[in-house]
Structure 1
């Protein structure tokens, strides 16, 4: 999917230091709220920019911080990025993620969307960071697509998700594949149980026959259209219920 000319992606600097892809709904449509969109381990790929466009089509002002910018990677479409993704992901820090996400939140606040009118959505490592964010801020909602680090943390300063989940301050939706070679079914079930103890509403949906990155329609070998469509529809419904209706 390519960006529609009515709302092209703009690489801006938010919070004074963080490069981010910003995509707004068309000017003739009302804005439902703001979304911080957090990248998968590959970076700011055309796929991730297309997700920004889909959110804009649904009425959401979307900010996708370029989390690898401290390593000089700020471009859209890092070619062949999957092979280097695990090593690159390891360069992130809790402090850097916090700074970049909070810069995006400040940008949305300046646009008129406070925390209750803002959602955080992430894919892969971005799903991990989305849950982490929802323990730090009472955002309107959070959604994690196959966020890892469930039992073993990815980064110093970000505890495993099973330890973080009980502290969720925002409604959280988890979307996982039961054939994920990186996240076991036991981990999925443990995360579901941990999130269920939070004060905020939570739901974790797992899809039989779907693996890691099942939503990534730029990778035909792992994309699972039925699971991806259902997960996306649930995401939009979650945002509508907890953010747009706030």
Structure 2
């Protein structure tokens, strides 16, 4: 396995991205969508974990229009909000497309590409799955379910348009994503033309997969969610 930083072209200028390559011929590609904190070391580690099991993984720096800042996990969320809110879904999709182009140049067709996102990136993963015919998508605690983000409609309204098999993973104690919003999303995805699934973790809050955030991390839920993610990709992007 190897990891490198590459520079991709977008309509708004160059964008850095971390790419993790598997040791053997990749079975497909995974776009890893960052948290609100930016392209953190944790996101790079997620790319490495995908590469370790045979996927070529790329994490684009969605904040490249703002200079690609990376925020410490103890940063006041209000400080980050202005950077996050400056994004819109058209820019996000342009960055996703640039990532797909790199994977395509290396031989990976769009139906063999998944997008997996965390926190803000969980929302990105759902938006991408609604606009692009990807092989699969997984959203870890992505918000915006009943209120739009990035200029996009609420995800409960987007759900029926999902083009990629979509898995949503949520913690019941996530104060930013109430259980009733998760259940509204479950109902909304019933109208999608692709397979969907939502998994809720009792007693678990936001960011339960991020082992660099001890206050939110839950080892049992994280392990289960990761296993479900790999199984979802295996089911919908078979070797």
Q: Which range, TM-score by smaller chain? A: over 0.9
Unpaired segments ≥5 residues, structure 2: none
Distance 1:81 1:64 in 2: 22
Please, which of 17, 20, 28 is the counterpart of residue 20 of structure 1? Answer: 17
1:110 to 2:105 alignment: yes
SS in 2 for 1:104: helix
Is residue 202 of structure 1 aligned with residue 196 of structure 2? Answer: yes
Aligned length: 234
Which residue pairs with 1:192 in the alignment?
186
Matched, 1:148 2:157: no
Deviations 1:174-198 (A, max 9, x none): 0000100000000000001111210
TM-score by length of 1: 0.91
* Separation in 2, partners of 1:135, 1:15: 23
TM-superposed deviation, 1:80? 5.1
SS of structure 2 residue aligned to 1:68: helix
What corresponds to 2:153 in structure 1?
159
Match for residue 219 of structure 1?
Answer: 213
Residue in 2 that maps onto 1:129 = 124
Structure 1 unaligned segments of length 5 or more: list them.
1-5
| SS of equivalent to 2:62 | coil
Matched, 1:72 2:67: yes
- Aligned CA RMSD, in angstroms, stands at 1.4
Q: Where do residues 173-192 of structure 1 align in structure 2 (5 Å cutoff)?
A: 173-192=167-186
Q: CA deviation at 1:81?
A: 6.6
Distance in 2 separating the partners of 1:214 and 1:89:
21
In the superposition, the TM-score normalised over structure 2's length comes to 0.94
C-alpha displacement of 1:230: 0.3
- Work out whether 1:62 is the aligned partner of 2:57: yes
